[in-house]
Amino acid sequence: MAQPNPVKVLEVCRVAPPPLSPDSTTPKSLPLTFFDMLLLKFPPTQRLYFYETSHPTTTFLEVVVPKLKRSLSLTLQHYIPLAGNVTDYFREAQNFNPFLPCLVGLETRVPVLALQVTLFPNVGFSIGYVVHHGVLDGKATTMFMHSWAFICTHGEYSTLTPELTPLYDRTLIVDPSNLEMTYSNFWLGRDGPDKKSLALRDRKAPPDAMLGTFLLTQEDIENIKTWVWFWWKKKQLQKPSFHLSSFAIATAYTWVCLVKARQIKTEKFYLGISVDCRGRLKPPIPPNYFGNCITSLIVDADSDELTGENGVAIAAKAIGEAIQGLKDGVLERNGDLISRYTTIPPGRLFNIVGSPRFEFYKTDFGWGRPQLQLIKLELSLFQILEMVVVGLRLGSY
């Protein structure tokens, strides 16, 4: 049964960028690269930022909202694609749902971005967004949010810093294996009569979905790392050639906990790790590239091993070796990536999304940093359970 909406809608509006100047180099449309095509029909990305303030409703509507709208309009002049739609050129955790917007579109036309600002009178407010994953990845989305916060804080005459200025040059993405055609054919071949449709699934959390925030301190990480090294030495394993990073340790520990929660024995489980390709392409492309530029590592292990006494050590070894393999080339296995995902049995794949490098907690619009940042936990297109360890500060890997 549908739950009543606890949010009172005060205003629904469209915020447009100001007219572009004649000398503007911001493109009005962008072609999709093979990175974009891979994610064309994936569920959209959603995130909530909560800010603690003491604004009553009147002040919020008369001061905060206009400032957010004005700075959003000014930011969009640098991010014109976010004010547009994805068009079809093919020829042949429930309680938080009310605070998240929807991408309401047609079968052949879907907006790229929707935003929602929700006031909790005299307590604070939240900013929620949903973006089309076929247009940009998490790094590009976060760059936009930081840009919006920067302009909101510094005023309408401020100039974006170089790292916040989006780069739209699609010629930087080289596709020697014609992966764009591979992914296009996949989407055309899997959806039957709806193969032309760009409609996205509703990502509102089902009634039984849960959200959680878990903090692993640096001391926790080091203790787990010490134990893993002890197990490898005890088993007389050769010292691995890869760096045992905080990322590998935290991910291994989380993967084991999630597998244990499923309580499924003698089955193989998989872990997908999103990888930013910008600095790993040959040649590398700048970090401010706007669009999708990610791939995924897929590692696997038997549930009996992961839930056993040495599960974290086994998981850390598999993850560390997979990351080490990126040095041989980040796209060498990308051609069969989508087919690998589709052959994994439902409910057996956990996917790591988001990154502490995105620095969500630095998104300050002038009223302080976010108090709590949430990403949704639920099954997505290929039965991927998306999760992130929020608040964890990790070293580089």
Total number of domains in the chain: 2
* Domain final residue pick, 194, 229, 255: 194
- Assess whether 247 and 110 both reside in one domain: no
- Assess whether 40 and 111 both reside in one domain: yes
Residue 121 structural domain: 34-194
**Sheet architecture: strand order including 294-302:** 294-302, 268-276, 349-352, 384-387
- Assess whether 236 and 102 both reside in one domain: no
Point out which residues pair with 300 in neighbouring strands: 270
Per-residue pLDDT of 28-68, as tens digits, reads 888 888 888 888 777 788 888 888 888 888 888 888 899 99
Rounded distance, CA 143 to CA 160, Å? 11
- Assess whether 237 and 345 both reside in one domain: yes
Task: Quickly list DSSP for 56-68.
Answer: -HHHIIIIIHHHH
- Assess whether 53 and 88 both reside in one domain: yes
Residue 94 pLDDT: 60
Q: Is 59 exposed, middle or buried (0-12, 13-18, 19+ CB in 10 A)?
A: middle
- Assess whether 258 and 134 both reside in one domain: no
* CA-based R_g, the chain, Å: 22
Does residue 8 sit within a domain? no
Ramachandran assignment for 366, one of left (phi > 0), alpha (psi -120 to 50 degrees), beta (any other): left
- Assess whether 190 and 222 both reside in one domain: no
Closest-CA residue to 334 (of 25, 113, 33): 33
Per-residue pLDDT of 147-156, as tens digits, reads 999 999 998 8
Per the listing, tokens 């469209």 go with: 14
- pLDDT beneath 70, residues of the chain: 1-5, 89-108, 190-213, 236-241, 332-336, 372-397
- Assess whether 171 and 242 both reside in one domain: no
Closest-CA residue to 253 (of 168, 296, 312, 200): 312
Does residue 397 sit within a domain? no
Query: Catalytic residue positions?
Result: 133, 364
Q: Phi/psi of residue 78, each to 5°?
A: -90, -20
Cβ atoms within 10 Å, residue 396: 8
Point out which residues pair with 125 in neighbouring strands: 51, 119
Does residue 233 sit within a domain? yes
Contact assessment for residue 259 and residue 269, using Cβ atoms and an 8 Å cutoff: yes
* Domain final residue pick, 161, 179, 194: 194
Contact assessment for residue 153 and residue 364, using Cβ atoms and an 8 Å cutoff: yes
Does residue 173 sit within a domain? yes
Does residue 46 sit within a domain? yes
Does residue 125 sit within a domain? yes
Amino acid at 343: T
Using alpha carbons, list the distances in angstroms from residue 157 to 202, 217, 218, 365: 38, 40, 41, 15
Rounded distance, CA 6 to CA 269, Å? 38
Does residue 273 sit within a domain? yes
Amino acid at 338: I
62 CB contacts (<8 Å, ≥6 apart)? none
Residue 380 pLDDT: 28
Does residue 367 sit within a domain? no
Closest-CA residue to 111 (of 86, 81, 128): 86
Ramachandran assignment for 341, one of left (phi > 0), alpha (psi -120 to 50 degrees), beta (any other): alpha
Task: Quickly list DSSP for 225-242.
Answer: HHHHHHHHHHTTPPPPSS
- Assess whether 44 and 187 both reside in one domain: yes
Closest-CA residue to 378 (of 130, 110, 45, 40): 45
Amino acid at 219: E
- Assess whether 38 and 187 both reside in one domain: yes
CATH of the domain at 261: 3.30.559.10
Ramachandran assignment for 266, one of left (phi > 0), alpha (psi -120 to 50 degrees), beta (any other): left
- Hey, what are 130's tokens? 């949903």
- Assess whether 341 and 239 both reside in one domain: yes
Rounded distance, CA 302 to CA 255, Å? 12
- Assess whether 248 and 289 both reside in one domain: yes
* Domain final residue pick, 161, 194, 227: 194
Residue 100 pLDDT: 66
